[in-house]
Amino acid sequence: MHKSTWKLLLPILASAILLLVSTSNATSALSLSKVKPAETYTVTLVPAENGSYTITPKIPEDGKVPAGTILTVQAKPASAYSLDAVYYTVKGGMWGTTSYESFSPTMKITVTKDKKIGATFVPRSLVKDIKVTQDVVYAKPGIKPLKYDVYSPKNAKNLPIVVIIHGGGWSSNNEDIMRGLARELVKDGKYVVFSIDYRWMNKLDGDPQPTCTN
């Protein structure tokens, strides 16, 4: 090709290359602008009384935690107190909110919704003479196992039994919510208490067929 022709083509080629680079950079910037920010949920910590708890990883000051984060809650009672429960609550369910509890000092919680986290403690004198056996499965008619908890005075023998059936309209709660009443009934050493759970109506237990049509 003649040198004069190259001189004419070089500015055109340089302009074309510059245009391609600019277009590529603009496309990359546009793609980055379309990337969705990471989904987060708000975690609210409820102040504890008569004890404390820590959460790992630490919750940011604004409470925003990335979805899918696994939080480890570690509870510690104050002197003369015992752990009642570590818990978290979320919006939803029959009564507007649903609570989940753990009776061990360590609880792992996966962040999938906005939630409140806390821990409760009771005087050690209230529970030190009570033996608790939790989550005894007495039937499994469907997906959800049916369980009961036993509260008895330590070294109890030949005592009458009280059976507690929790409230919830056949659609919510479980045997755990009645532990306060169970302790009160047992603390004087006169009764053994069974707090039982039951099936929920319709498909609330997770079964493909409803357990009740009414």
* Residues 99 and 60 both lie in one domain: yes
User: What pLDDT band is residue 97 in, cutting at 50, 70 and 90?
Assistant: confident
Which candidate, 120, 103, 99, 118, places its Cα nearest to that of 59? 118
| 30 inside domain | no
Q: Give the residue from 81, 100, 126 where a domain finishes.
A: 126
Least confident of 41-45, 110-114, 206-210: 206-210
CATH number at residue 170: 3.40.50.1820
* Residues 118 and 133 both lie in one domain: no
* Residues 145 and 117 both lie in one domain: no
Q: Which domain holds residue 65?
A: 37-126
DSSP H or E segment with residue 126: helix 124-127
d(CA 174, CA 165): 9
| Mean pLDDT across 39-46 | 97
Residue at 53: amino acid letter: Y
User: What pLDDT band is residue 22 in, cutting at 50, 70 and 90?
Assistant: low
| 175 inside domain | yes
* Overall residue count recorded for the chain in this entry: 214
| 24 inside domain | no
Which residues are CB-neighbours of 97 under 8 A, at least 6 positions away? Answer: 89, 90, 91
In total, how many domains does the chain have? 2
Is-above-0.95 flag for pTM?
no
* Residues 158 and 97 both lie in one domain: no
d(CA 107, CA 38): 25
Q: Give the residue from 126, 150, 166 where a domain finishes.
A: 126
* Residues 89 and 134 both lie in one domain: no
Least confident of 7-21, 91-105, 135-149, 200-214: 7-21
User: How do residues 98-113 score in pLDDT, each as one tens digit?
Assistant: 899 999 999 999 999 9
User: What pLDDT band is residue 144 in, cutting at 50, 70 and 90?
Assistant: very high
* Residues 95 and 134 both lie in one domain: no
Pairing of strands 192-196, 130-139: unpaired
* Residues 119 and 135 both lie in one domain: no
Pairing of strands 161-165, 40-45: unpaired
| Mean pLDDT across 197-211 | 86
pLDDT value of position 203: 84
Least confident of 90-94, 118-122, 153-157, 162-166: 90-94
| Mean pLDDT across 59-80 | 97
